Amino acid sequence: MSTPLLVPATPENIARAAALLRVGRLVAFPTETVYGLGGDAGSERAVGAIFAAKGRPRFNPLIVHIPDLAEAERIARLDDRARALARRFWPGALTLVLPRREDSGISLLACAGLDTVAVRVPAHPVAQALLRAAGRPIAAPSANRSGRVSPTAAIHVAAEFGDDAAAGIALILDGGPTQIGLESTVLDLYGPQAVLLRPGGVPLEALEAALGPVIIAGADDAAPRSPGQLASHYAPSLPLRLSAAEARPGEALLAFGPETPAGFAEVLNLSRRGDLVEAAVNLFAMLRRLDRPDFAGIAVMPIPEDGLGRAINDRLRRAAAPRQH
Ligand code: TXA
Ligand code: MG
């Protein structure tokens, strides 16, 4: 197949996608967070194809998607904390980094050679149906080129990979826009102390209510970090300017809240009513829409650092960081 196929996520197409996954092909599919680029997590060849398609550094491990907790138990070692969190937040936007079972059958490349594995049970009905039909764990990073803005709609995936036969994507399942809009929260439970590796769709406050205090990676030098949490990520082509209060010539504005400064070439509002859940849904799609060569840059208004605001600000800081790409 030379170009990826964008198809609606009907039962027939989900069955087709599952069959493609079982023979080692790559399929993009919706989850409630962002679209994933899936491949058989047990196949070094399929996992290698994911890294190649994304241009992803091989030291950055992938999340393994499974349909339920029972499947997680087959590939990882869960303790009481992990099971309690799984029961509370799965299916959902929480990824747990856990000790990997020796007999997990997961490709070492997917785990970047670590003795851990990141597992997640997505809630999206299309993802659930696909995982059950495929009948095997599916490695799936966000379906974007490494370092770029994550896809929250199937059309974003097609735009990212559509004209590149070399990317080797066999099918893109269109399940509509994603409901959360930000990636899952990544929590490391390898050691005795839980460490937040990536803020995401499950807010830190909710995790701490269930688990007690969580260490934040980066805040404490002794804490482990996610190998893939690069400073520059989620980046549009245009430069980003954070906490903007007034316009600079030619800039577009990504606004938040009811009051927006004047003088910008274009304004898109993440949430007029200042709702962080709505802002998360809009974030990546609006960054894409403002990423036009006729603007000089994208200015972003300040976003509060609580609830989903922590994950939104994390993505914006990385999008504004000096580029490595
Ligand atoms: O919402 C999501 O999590 C989406 C959907 C498709 O599920 N996936 C996603 O995958 O965001 P990706 O590859 O873009 O981000 C995975 C993150 C990276 O920061 C990676 O370094 C971290 O999870 N990660 C994966 N395995 C890990 C491991 N064994 N130890 C530490 N961090 C790990
Ligand atoms: Mg990603």
Query: From the alpha carbon of 118, which atom of ligand 1 is closest?
Result: 26
- Expressed in angstroms and rounded, the spacing between residue 101 Cα and the centre of ligand 1 is 18
How far from the centroid of its chain's Cα atoms is residue 21's Cα? 20
For the cut 60, the answer to whether the pLDDT of residue 2 exceeds it is no
Residue 298's closest CA among 245, 257, 240, 236? 240
For the cut 80, the answer to whether the pLDDT of residue 297 exceeds it is yes
Instruction: List the domain boundaries for the chain.
Output: 5-216, 240-320
- Expressed in angstroms and rounded, the spacing between residue 20 Cα and the centre of ligand 1 is 23
Any ligand 1 atom below 6 A from CB of 261: no
* CATH class as words, domain 5-216: alpha beta
Query: Phi and psi of 157, rounded to 5°?
Result: -65, -45
Euclidean distance between CA atoms 192 and 246, whole angstroms: 46
The reported pLDDT for the residue numbered 233 is: 81
Q: Which of 107, 115, 226 to mutate to test the pocket of ligand 1 (most atoms within 8 A of CB)?
A: 226
Q: Band of the pLDDT at 231, cuts 50, 70, 90?
A: confident
Predicted TM-score of the model (pTM): 0.95
Query: From the alpha carbon of 190, which atom of ligand 1 is closest?
Result: 30
Euclidean distance between CA atoms 46 and 174, whole angstroms: 21
For the cut 60, the answer to whether the pLDDT of residue 93 exceeds it is yes
**What is the CB neighbour count within 10 angstroms for residue 99?**
17
Q: Locate 274 and state its tokens.
A: 């200042």
Residue 1's closest CA among 126, 127, 154, 164? 164
Q: What angle do CA 120, 123, 129 make, to 5 degrees?
A: 100
For the stretch 145-171, pLDDT in tens is 999 999 999 999 999 987 666 678 999
Q: Whose CA is nearest to atom 31 of ligand 1?
A: 226
Q: What is the mean pLDDT of the chain?
A: 94
